Homo-oligomer: A and B are copies of this chain.
């Protein structure tokens, strides 16, 4: 018999969904419980419970980002899997939505409407534009597929992998500025690691054309925030939309709230649906029960 503890602010929802699935040999337990071998929850709640889970053998994070559990002082003698594969569709909708909003000038149209101004000047199109994806994992591959659907050219920047057939050209490690040159759109989907911190800095922003538009749905730590504010204020790039920030919620006195040509959303690009995450948990539980390799296992050293 396996014992699961659910460490989530949505504990009741996950409990109901998992009970409904009637998984073999699985019992849902409460803390403290010396014999719990499985944990499901948000990373910071799992971290807080680690000391009271001596028998923990597998933890499934409900989030993609698992920073709290990477802390080198934390225990690592268990298998950590994170949430992947469930955000792709929503992320793609978010990114394509803001790209189209930019091309079709929908904020400008709304302003013209307010001014009763029949402004029939031409709008743009995604067809023929070039998008650069910083990170091409499962989410990036979905974005690449949508970009191809709309007739875009797709560049991918990765450490080494070249797994998506929808990416026209791959760039690696030291090619970052070459990757950036000529992009119409730069989209960050990278996880938070020591190599990705402030990867979107003044050098990268300066390598972009002045009409480029930047989207960050990866992690807030990937952006040098003052360099981005500076680039937007000086019209070094045309605009940006950010969903993630170094500090969340964004502090009231943060300059991002009022930076020109900057759109903010509130870590809402890909809300995780309990149904999708429960499906992922069940899939991994069945692998776990059979002693097989789990999906989306995190490498504590690499950090993703």
Contact = CB atoms under 8 A, between A and B. Distances in A.
A123 interface: yes
A109 B151 contact: no
A252 interface: yes
A258 to B, nearest CB: 9
Interface string A88-122: 01100110111011011011011011001011111
Copies of the chain in the assembly:
2
A151 B263 contact: no
B264 A120 contact: no
Contacts of A252: 116
Interface in A112-146: 112-113, 116, 118-123, 125-127, 146
A257 interface: yes
Given A96-B100, A252-B116, A151 B266 contact: no
A106 B100 CA distance: 12
Nearest to A150: B93
Contacts of A94: 100, 104
B125 A265 contact: no
A94 B109 CA distance: 12
10 contacts: A90-B125, A93-B103, A93-B150, A96-B96, A97-B97, A97-B104, A101-B101, A118-B266, A120-B267, A121-B268
Interface of A: 89-90, 93-94, 96-98, 100-101, 103-104, 106-107, 109-110, 112-113, 116, 118-123, 125-127, 146, 149-151, 248-250, 252, 257, 263-268, 271
Closest 8 pairs (CB-CB, A-B): A97-B100, A118-B249, A120-B266, A113-B264, A122-B271, A97-B104, A116-B257, A109-B265
